[in-house]
Amino acid sequence: MLETINTDISIIGAGIAGSAIARELSKYDLSITVIEQKNDIGLEGTTTNHALVCQGADSLTFRPGTLHAELNIKSIPLWPKLAEELNFKFRRIGGLWLIRDNSDFKKFQKMYSRAFKSSLDPKSPLLIPEGSFIPLKFLNKKELKNEEPEISDEFFGALYDPNLATVNPPEVAKAYAENAKANGTEFLFNTKINNIKRVSGKFELYSDKYIIKTDIVINASGIEADKIAELAKARDFSYVPFKGTIVEFDDELGKMINHETLILPRGSPHMQLISPTYDGKLRAGIYLEMTFRSNKEIKDYAIKHAINVSKTLYPGLPFENHILKSFTGFMAMTNPDTGWHDFVIGIPEFVPNWVNVILGPAGVSASPMLGKKVVEILSKSGVRFEEKKNYQPSIRKGVIS
Amino acid sequence: MSLNNTLNLNLARKIINAMISFSMDNNMLPGSYAVTDSGGHVVALERRDSALPATVDLAIDKAWTASVMKLSAKVLDQVITRGEGWRLNVKYHGRMTLIHGAIPLIIQGEVVGGIGHSGESIEGDEKIAQAGFAGAYREEEFETNVEKGLEISRSIAESVINYVNSNKLKPVAITITDVNGWPLLIYRMDGTPYGFVEISRSRAWTSSAFKLNSHEVTKIVGEIIECPNGEDSNERFNTSQGGIYIGNIIGSLGVAGNSPEEDYKIATNSLKSLNI
């Protein structure tokens, strides 16, 4: 006999998206249940990424007019406050976009000016408040060497973004979740949704143990979001799984590199970067391929790519001897034919009270804004939100009972 | 498991099924769904029963455009030609279709074909084509509950494929048209030279147009006639063997890939095994 649970809002998926949205919704007078098929928070895409939080050059250069750009830029000023409220490590490392030649320089100049137009002009709708952002600057070869003594002599300089930060995304997800829990959100782990029915305006979510009866569903199930949406005929988006392979180097080598360092790929779809992490290690890569989501195999050529990139940037460092681990992860990429990726956060035309949340790259960085966007979208569709009087932004309670 | 970087009929059918499933789930208008190879030649096409006849060639031309330009119509229109796309058509008699809903199929970093959809709005066509691309990267099959005409067309095509395979004949191209001569389905079996696609289609058209098997048409119109092919308007005359008139719900079956005599045998025996 299945146990019945009644709730106002169900969030499917307890990764960075589901947890962030749960926390935001826990500010309102609602009963919320987060449903996760694994036994803990953020075990998939939240864990398997480069652990960077876009804060400057990168997020400002996302295609203007996209949700991707909007949510990332609006999240920039929210991060430091969030780290303080939820007490997680937020480390500013800064980013160096290396210049090989005039062509790189021209491209970065264009990005630089786009950043100013999109978010630093006082008339811009996405204006970043003063004090949340240190302006970018160009470094010459000598200045670059000062920042990164081990960098290759091949580079003439860099575009320097002092804002870029790193966090431990699963720690952030857990912080969101524990705050949501302390404010009344329920969590169901080891609960996989197999079937969804709509009965007189309500959704019924079926797992092996429960029937969850709910008014609203937030589908934040990461790389599985398409399959979950199909159960309710609510898939009005498409994406392709992009597998990324990342190599992690130990903290001994981590001491030698201070900033995220990258070059723009030429004639190759693979990212070329190495970056310090929140805990002093390094992550490098990223070999990207479109493939089936079950194909989690780590390939030699993908590891070689990470090592080659690292050696191109820092030829004097013995990367081969300092590998800690390598891992693969998946991102949901929309518009894979053009590379014009964008987030999807929306209610399908024919399935009211259902919100799809598809992130893909820069999802962690946009997480502070996700819940606010979901509230905005649901409010527009007629859902009424009443603020809780006793919401506490900093308290935490363990989510696994 | 990873995806093989060759486009075959099974993958093309999976992509089409993914598109149909997406458009049905989202209550979109029925249309035509096409997949072409890297040279722009049809591998598979399906048209839902109530879709507009003209969407057939629009879908094929969109897939063709994505295949031979190795780019999405969206990019060709917005980035490459910036609204001057009509100039491209001086060369290809209007075939270059820079309307959204035309995207290249990319596997292991290579463009292996094109996906085209026609029948919805610009946004709808694009969404459906994207669903086809994403469908290639799903491991499970999509189940679709299609209308009667397309359902029968699919079972006839299956029957032809089974007959060809079990009799170890050369692979064939299959076209199934409605009573008006417009294709409901075109499949090209793996290994069939692409030239046979148009032959199968013109045999099926001729059968539908004269309500006769294609090779029997000369009995009523004479051996030498003036009937130039007008592919631009779907008029395509071919009186060789291989076109069978059915005339019930669907119009005709056209098969091509072996000698005309064998193609005729394949078509009749495949229909017989289905009691049509």
Q: Give residue B222's pLDDT.
A: 83
Q: Are residues A213 and A194 part of one domain?
A: yes
Q: Are residues A329 and A275 part of one domain?
A: yes
Paired strand residues for A216: A9
Contact yes or no for B26 and A348 at CB 8 A:
yes
A336 touching chain B per CB within 8 A: yes
Terminal alpha carbon distance of chain A = 22
Least confident span in A246-250, A301-305, B2-6, B149-153: B2-6
Query: A333, A356, A389 — which closes off a domain?
Result: A333
Confidence of residue B226 (pLDDT cuts 50, 70, 90): low
Q: Give residue A372's pLDDT.
A: 97
State how far the Cα of A147 lies from the Cα of A171, in Å rounded to an integer.
29
Contact yes or no for B130 and A337 at CB 8 A:
yes
Q: Are residues B110 and B193 part of one domain?
A: no
Number of domains in chain A: 2
Average pLDDT over residues B127-134: 98
State how far the Cα of A126 lies from the Cα of B210, in Å rounded to an integer.
65
**Does residue A63 lie in a domain region?**
no
What is the DSSP secondary-structure string of A5-33?
EEEEEEEE--SHHHHHHHHHHTTBS--EE
**Does residue A53 lie in a domain region?**
no
Q: Are residues B180 and B66 part of one domain?
A: no
Of B147, B200, B195, residue with least CA distance to B174 = B200
**Does residue A83 lie in a domain region?**
no
**Does residue B4 lie in a domain region?**
no
Sort out which chain B residues have CB atoms less than 8 A from A342's CB and list them: none
State how far the Cα of A329 lies from the Cα of A296, in Å rounded to an integer.
7
Asked if the model's pLDDT at residue B232 lies above 80, the reply is: no
Yes or no: say if A21 and A374 are a contact pair by the CB < 8 Å rule: yes
Of A257, A266, A283, A211, residue with least CA distance to A51 = A283
State how far the Cα of A216 lies from the Cα of B95, in Å rounded to an integer.
46
With a CB cutoff of 8 Å and minimum separation 6, the contacts of B164 are: B170, B171, B172, B189, B257, B266
Confidence of residue B225 (pLDDT cuts 50, 70, 90): low
Asked if the model's pLDDT at residue B3 lies above 70, the reply is: yes
With a CB cutoff of 8 Å and minimum separation 6, the contacts of B258 are: B169, B170, B172, B266
Q: Name residue, tokens 């909007």.
A: A70
A269 touching chain B per CB within 8 A: yes
The tokens describing A315, both together, are 């030829």
The tokens describing A212, both together, are 């969850």
Domain hosting residue B224, numbered range: 148-272
Q: Give residue B1's pLDDT.
A: 61
Q: Name residue, tokens 């009749």.
A: B268
pLDDT in tens, B11-44: 999 999 999 999 999 999 999 999 999 999 999 9
Domain hosting residue A294, numbered range: 95-166+240-333
**Which regions of A190-271 does DSSP assign to beta strands (E)?**
195-199, 202-206, 210-219, 240-249, 260-263
**Does residue A305 lie in a domain region?**
yes
Q: Give residue B84's pLDDT.
A: 81
State how far the Cα of A175 lies from the Cα of A41, in Å rounded to an integer.
10
Paired strand residues for B175: B186, B254
Q: Tell whether ipTM is more than 0.95.
A: no
Q: Which residues of B90-122 are buried (b: 16+ CB within 10 A; e: fewer)?
A: eeeeebbbbbbbbbbbbbeeebbbbbbbbbbee
Q: Give residue B164's pLDDT.
A: 98
Of A306, A298, A301, residue with least CA distance to A273 = A306
State how far the Cα of B175 lies from the Cα of B162, in Å rounded to an integer.
16
Query: Which domain CATH number covers B83?
Result: 3.30.450.150
State how far the Cα of B115 lies from the Cα of B107, in Å rounded to an integer.
13
**Does residue A385 lie in a domain region?**
no
**Does residue A399 lie in a domain region?**
no
Nearest-CA distance A355 → chain B (Å)? 15
Paired strand residues for A92: A165
Q: Are residues A260 and A145 part of one domain?
A: yes
**Does residue B1 lie in a domain region?**
no
The tokens describing B258, both together, are 């072996």
Q: Give residue A61's pLDDT.
A: 76
**Does residue A121 lie in a domain region?**
yes
Query: A333, A360, A390 — which closes off a domain?
Result: A333
Asked if the model's pLDDT at residue B80 lies above 70, the reply is: yes
Considering CB atoms only, which of A240, A269, A291 is closest to B134? A240
Q: Are residues A20 and A154 part of one domain?
A: no
**Does residue B3 lie in a domain region?**
no
Q: Are residues B205 and B89 part of one domain?
A: no
Of A357, A374, A353, A360, residue with least CA distance to A225 = A357
Query: B76, B103, B136 — which closes off a domain?
Result: B136
* Rg, chain A, Cα only: 21
Paired strand residues for A349: none
Query: B88, B109, B136 — which closes off a domain?
Result: B136
Q: Are residues A285 and A206 part of one domain?
A: no
Q: Which residues, numbered 106 to 125 in chain B, qualify as contacts with chain A under a Cβ-Cβ cut-off of 8 Å?
A: 106-109
Asked if the model's pLDDT at residue B78 lies above 80, the reply is: yes
State how far the Cα of A12 lies from the Cα of A374, in Å rounded to an integer.
14
Q: Name residue, tokens 């786009």.
A: A114
Q: Are residues A301 and A257 part of one domain?
A: yes
Least confident span in A120-129, A259-268, B236-245, B252-261: A120-129
Considering CB atoms only, which of B3, B25, B109 is closest to A292? B3
Of B254, B74, B24, residue with least CA distance to A334 = B74
Q: Are residues B132 and B89 part of one domain?
A: yes
Paired strand residues for A333: A240
What is the DSSP secondary-structure string of A133-194?
-PPPEEEEHHHHHHH-TTS-TT--EEEEETT-EE--HHHHHHHHHHHHHHTT-EEE-S----
Helical ranges in chain B per DSSP H: 9-25, 55-69, 73-75, 122-136, 148-166, 195-210, 217-221, 260-272
**Does residue B223 lie in a domain region?**
yes
Question: Which three-class secondary structure state does DSSP give residue A34?
Answer: strand
Q: Are residues A155 and A143 part of one domain?
A: yes
Q: Which residues, numbered 201 to 260 in chain A, qualify as contacts with chain B under a Cβ-Cβ cut-off of 8 Å?
A: 226, 230, 233-241
Cβ-Cβ pairs closer than 8 A, A with B, add up to 65
Q: Give residue A182's pLDDT.
A: 97
Q: Give residue A130's pLDDT.
A: 79
Q: Give residue B97's pLDDT.
A: 92
Average pLDDT over residues B196-225: 92
Asked if the model's pLDDT at residue B230 lies above 70, the reply is: no
Q: Name residue, tokens 């009424």.
A: A384
Mutant choice from A238, A292, A298, A299 vs B, greatest count of B C-beta within 10 A: A238
Alpha carbon of B58 to those of A171, B63, B96, B131, B200: distances in Å?
51, 9, 10, 18, 19
Q: Are residues B247 and B166 part of one domain?
A: yes
**Does residue A86 lie in a domain region?**
no
State how far the Cα of B144 lies from the Cα of B118, in Å rounded to an integer.
18
Block means of pLDDT (10 residues each) for chain A, 401 residues, are 95 98 97 97 93 83 86 93 96 95 91 73 78 88 96 95 94 97 97 96 96 98 97 97 97 95 90 95 96 96 97 96 96 94 96 96 95 97 95 94 69
Q: Are residues B95 and B186 part of one domain?
A: no
User: Is B248 buried (19+), middle (13-18) or exposed (0-12) by CB count in 10 A?
Assistant: exposed
Q: Give residue B124's pLDDT.
A: 97
Query: A309, A333, A357 — which closes off a domain?
Result: A333
Number of domains in chain B: 2
- Cα dihedral A52, A57, A61, A67 sign: positive
Query: Which domain CATH number covers A177?
Result: 3.50.50.60
Find, in chain A, the residue whose alpha carbon is nearest to that of B76. Answer: A338
Sort out which chain A residues have CB atoms less than 8 A from B74's CB and list them: 338
State how far the Cα of A26 lies from the Cα of A386, in Å rounded to an integer.
11
